[in-house]
Structure 1
Amino acid sequence: MKSTGRLTGTEPPQGQCNTENDSNCCEQGKMYTIYDCSPPVSSQTQALLTLNSFEEGADGGGASECDNQYHSDDTPVVSLSRGWFEHQGRCYKNIIISGNSRSVVATVVDQCDSTTGCDSDHDYQPPCGNYIVDASRAVWEALGVPQNDWGQLPIVWSDA
C-alpha cells in the first residue's frame, strides 16, 4: 500500500505526551509516513493489534470519533486505521478479531488516524499505520494474551 505523504514530527510540550501502554511520542524533525487508505477488507483481513486506552486522560488522546465520548477499557472497543474506518462508516459496527488461537467481538468507536498526528488531538503520538486495530484492554484479555505480552500482536479481523 503506497503512502500518501509524510508528516514532520514536532516535539510535544512538556508533559503533554502520555506514554501509557508503551505509546510513542513524536520526535522533532522526524518524518512520519501517512496513509489515506488501508488494505482491502476480507473475511480474514490481516492487521496488527495494538493497545490503546479509550478512557479520559489516558494515552488514547481525545474522545472517540463516533460519539465524542470516552469508553471503559473493560469494554471490548477498537479504533481502526483511517481506510478501514470508512469516514465513520464502521461506527458502532462489530468486528471479529482472531489472534492467539482465540476470537473476540469488539465494537468500532474510533479512528486510529493514519493521516495526522503529533498534535494535541492525537496526544502528540505519530500517525497510525494503515493496518492497525487499536484495542482496549478488554480485547487483549479476551484473546488470552498475557499482560506482559500486550502491545502488538498479528491478528486477522472481519466484519461481524
Structure 2
Amino acid sequence: MKQSTLIIFLVIFSLLFTLHTARVNNQSKHGRKLMSKHSIHSAIGVQENLMITDYTKGGDSGGPAECDGKYHSNDKFLVSLPTTWYNDGKNCNKGINISYKGMDVIAVVIDECGGCSDDVLVASKAVWRGLHVPESQWGDEIQVIWSYVN
C-alpha cells in the first residue's frame, strides 16, 4: 500500500513540475521576466509620489481614459499608472490599494500617464479625499504606498 501511494505521489509531482516548467518556458519565450518589477511591487508595496488629475471632459487629464476611451467622474476612486506600470493596458481595471498616513483606499486603474516617471501615481479627487488629504494640499505631491489588490 505504501509503495502505491509513493508512486501516485511521484506521478502527481512529476505532472505538476512539468506543467510549471512549461509555464515558465512559455513566459520566457514571450519576454516576460519571472520576477518582474510588477510582481515585486504587488508583493511588498511601492512608495510613489501621488499627483492629482481631473478625469472629466475638459479636465487636465489630457483626454479620455486609455482603458475605455471615456471620461470619468472625479467622485470615483480612479488612478493613472506610468507607462511601465500601465503595461500596454494589461493593468486596466485592476484595483490597487493606496495608503497614506494610516488611511487606505482602493482605486481602479483607468488610464496611462505617458509623461510620468515610474515613481508617480496620478489619482482622482476622490482618492485624495478618501486618504483624508486636506484640500489645501491637493496638487502637492505626497508620498503614498500602493500595491495591486489580489
The answer to whether 1:51 aligns with 2:52 is yes
Percentage of pairs with the same residue: 37
| Cα drift, residue 46 of structure 1 | 1.2
- Work out whether residues 94 and 159 of structure 1, in 8 Å CA contact, stay in contact via their aligned partners in 2: yes
What is the RMSD of the two structures over their aligned residues, measured on CA atoms?
1.2
The answer to whether 1:141 aligns with 2:133 is no
Q: How many residues are treated as equivalent by the alignment?
A: 109
The structure where helix makes up a greater share of residues is 2
**Aligned residue number for residue 130 of structure 1:** 118
**Aligned residue number for residue 76 of structure 1:** 77
- Work out whether residues 98 and 155 of structure 1, in 8 Å CA contact, stay in contact via their aligned partners in 2: yes
TM-score by length of 1: 0.66
- Work out whether residues 73 and 138 of structure 1, in 8 Å CA contact, stay in contact via their aligned partners in 2: yes
Structure 1: distance between partners of 2:129 and 2:101: 11
Structure 1 residue runs without a partner (length 5+): 1-38, 114-126
The answer to whether 1:159 aligns with 2:115 is no
**Aligned residue number for residue 122 of structure 1:** none
Whichever of the two has the greater Rg, that structure is 2
Structure 1: distance between partners of 2:48 and 2:90: 19
- Work out whether residues 100 and 145 of structure 1, in 8 Å CA contact, stay in contact via their aligned partners in 2: no
Greater Cα shift, 42-51 or 75-84 = 42-51
- Greater than 6 Å deviation, 4+ residue runs: none
- Work out whether residues 48 and 154 of structure 1, in 8 Å CA contact, stay in contact via their aligned partners in 2: yes
| Cα drift, residue 40 of structure 1 | 2.4
Structure 2: distance between partners of 1:93 and 1:110: 11
Structure 2 residue runs without a partner (length 5+): 1-35
Residue type matched to 1:153 in 2?
I
Residue type matched to 1:138 in 2?
A
Structure 1: distance between partners of 2:100 and 2:117: 19
Residue type matched to 1:157 in 2?
W
SS in 1 for 2:136: helix
| Cα drift, residue 59 of structure 1 | 0.8
